[in-house]
Amino acid sequence: MRLSSALIFAALAAPGLALANDTNDETSFRAGGALLYSPEYAGSADYQLRVLPLISFDDIAGFELSGLSLAYPLIDIGTGQGPGTWSLKAGPRVAFDFGRDSEDSPTLTGFEDIGASLLAGGFLRANYGPVGLRVDAGQDVISGHDGFNADISLGTYLPKGLLVDKLAIQPALTLSWADQNYTQSIYGITAQQAAASGLPQYDLGGGFHRASASLLSWYELDDRWQINGIVSYREYIGDYRDSPILQAPDGTTSDVFMLLGISRKFTL
């Protein structure tokens, strides 16, 4: 996974999981650093530990930065968040997606690198009482994987003090859908790649390719400093889990994504 654009990495680093959060009237942003433990690429059993910066904000000139995505809520209505309330946000969104280097694994010998992608699309975030739904979707516009993908998440938000003082927790379940351009780039093997790598040719169509169960948490050390944590278990599903890339000796049909960071709030 390439990290050349990691300066925009933020505390909510798993796309589609931000279903709810605390709100206030201040214009502010967060900056800090984190340790990221994640697979080399989708379907890899080999992991890397990386040090990354954290940058995020909820409302600067109306924009929201969450993970590697920048969104602008054109629709923002509702009575609030929590029991007996509802809210709806929706609007355009762009997101960055890292590519894949063939040198990351002997399994990928003869494969071309997959370049970084910029996904242009939109988002919808709806809450009714304690339940939240989020949909993030986008089409690659810079010829990385050239595909369209969408994450559909359902979860809840446990505010600070409900379970532990100063600790907020957000569990979520996510299904990821992608078109053929995406799935064939990530999981498929063309005739040319098969000849170069020795793996069998594997052709795929679009569909739901991954299911995830995630837990996000925020712990306030004081009114400015905050510890951020993410644990996400991800299972590859359907025909995609049978990809020779995932079935290779250094492949896997499930993986774990973990982030632990600390950030400071700055008020503008």
pLDDT digits over 5-15, tens only? 333 343 333 33
Q: Does pLDDT of 247 surpass 90?
A: yes
Domains of the chain: 6-267 (2.40.230)
Q: Does pLDDT of 210 surpass 50?
A: yes
Inter-residue contact 34 to 11 (CB < 8 Å): yes
Q: How far apart are CA 234 and CA 255, in angstroms?
A: 5
The pLDDT value recorded for residue 90 is 97
Q: How far apart are CA 138 and CA 79, in angstroms?
A: 28
Least confident among 3-7, 44-48, 53-57, 72-76 = 3-7
The pLDDT value recorded for residue 159 is 83
Other C-beta atoms lying within 10 Å of the C-beta of residue 50:
15
Inter-residue contact 160 to 168 (CB < 8 Å): yes
The pLDDT value recorded for residue 17 is 40
| Beta bridge partner(s), residue 134 | 125, 153
- The DSSP secondary structure of 11-45, one letter per residue, reads S--STT--------S--EEEEEEEEEEEESSTTBS
Q: Does pLDDT of 170 surpass 80?
A: yes
SS3 content of the chain, % helix, strand, coil (to 5): 10, 50, 35
Q: How far apart are CA 231 and CA 172, in angstroms?
A: 11
> Model's pTM, two decimal places?
0.88
Least confident among 157-161, 219-223, 238-242, 261-265 = 157-161
The pLDDT value recorded for residue 24 is 53
Nearest Cα neighbor of 36 from 47, 45, 49, 46 is 49
Q: Specify the DSSP element, H or E, that contains 258.
A: strand 254-267
**Residue 241 corresponds to which amino acid?**
R
Least confident among 95-104, 113-122, 134-143, 182-191 = 95-104
